[in-house]
Amino acid sequence: MATTKIKPKEEPLPLEMRVIQCIADFTAPKTTQDSVDQLAAEYMTATLLRSNAEKRYNAIKSVINDEFAVKIAKVRNEAAEKMLKATDNLIGSDWQFDFAANKPATRVDVDELKTELIKRGVKASLVDEAVTKVEKKATPALIITAKPVV
């Protein structure tokens, strides 16, 4: 009589661990020992994973925005009216959505502000001096791409 060992039922890994495992196990193409080749292959692989993950993220976010437009608008309107962070959630059987909207940020169009101040009688030179004194330059964006040499 043959005996069969019954393995205890293993619990599946949490979703976060499954995703991390998929990404970590996805190897970049093998290259020469050249460090440029190794880094470029890894960078391109990471870029492709990121790009496809962003496409999936944007697609599902669009569906969520369409499906729950009223609830999302309510949270955003509450944040705008109270000028405070607003939150709400939507609970399903196994998962839930937490919706949060921060208070709206204030943005100023510097050119329009200059025009408005000059219209109100402030000297253009004074406006320019003030803007120059308070403006801050952002660090230029660095764009890195990797591709096979052809």
In DSSP notation, 26-75 reads SPPPP--S-HHHHHHHHHHHHHHHHHHHHHHHHHHHHHHHHHTHHHHHHH
Token pair of 70, please?
A: 């009223």
> What Rg do the C-alpha atoms of the chain give, in angstroms?
27
Query: Does the predicted model carry a pTM greater than 0.85?
Result: no
Query: Higher confidence at residue 66 or residue 143?
Result: 66
* 4: pLDDT strictly greater than 80: no
pLDDT, one tens digit per residue, over 94-103 is: 899 999 999 9
Cα 128 to Cα 84, 125, 133, 136, distances in angstroms: 34, 5, 9, 14
| Residue type, position 103, single letter | K
CB 31, CB 38: distance < 8 Å: yes
- The residue extents of the domains of the chain are 15-67, 68-104, 106-135
* 108: pLDDT strictly greater than 60: yes
1 — pLDDT class (breaks 50, 70, 90): low
Q: What is the 3-state secondary structure (H, E, C) of 79-135?
A: HHHHCCCEEEEEECCCCEEEEEECCCCCCCCHHHHHHHHHHCCCCHHHHHHHHHHHC
141 — pLDDT class (breaks 50, 70, 90): confident
